[in-house]
Amino acid sequence: MNLVKLNSTMPLRAIPEETLNKVILMDLLPFLTGLLSLTDEVSANRLEIALPAIKERCIGMGFAEIKKMFEMYVDSKLNLKPIPNYFDRILLGKIVDSYKSLNIKKIKPIESKQMTPEEIEFQMIEAVDRVKKEYKQLGRIDSLCHHVYDYLFKQGVLPKEKEYKDKIFARAKSIARGNAASKATQSLEEHRGLKKALEDIELKGNTSVIIIAKRLVLEDYLKSKQDEI
């Protein structure tokens, strides 16, 4: 069951892509169709074309705030005159810009609530499924996945042996060195930057190495479970 709805205060950037698209199409689109009185087919089509831009323009907002923004638009509380039975991508940009330009003190803040354990669990299960699908399609993981590693590690399904972890960190350092070297140019400044980057990689707890190591562990784990994903 989808726990993300139009009353959600969770920022769009924190919502998995599949869930985000579903809420936009199944909840936000019907809401705006009614709110903006989009009675003809042309206006409805323009709305459907414009809505994907919500993910870019409102990435830091939750659906509750997006809903409030459009309500302010139709109630003439923005610096825009509402247009009945009309909506397109250009108007979307104007509404977002007008909303963001308002003095924040004049906008009644929306109460943010902490996610429940059930909501957190739901989000993590979706994140695990996303990583599984990505690995199944590509044979690797390109997206950020360290939070998925942390979740599965707590579940006790990932290896903890020191010998294995040492090998993983050695591989991760090698990859991190290669990444740093590939960015270097012939300039003296870039070479100094490379030297510093390589020195940092050797430090215990280097963030980039840890992130790579977690990805490698996940890829090894999914490879071992290939018949099940």
User: What average pLDDT does this structure show over 85-90?
Assistant: 90
pLDDT of residue 66: 94
**pTM of the entire structure?**
0.50
For residue 26, what are its two tokens? 């199944």
Alpha helices in 80-116 (DSSP H): 89-101
**pLDDT above 90 (res 3):** no
Which of the two residues, 212 and 116, has the higher pLDDT score? 212
At 23-56, the pLDDT tens digits run 888 889 889 988 988 877 777 778 888 888 898 8
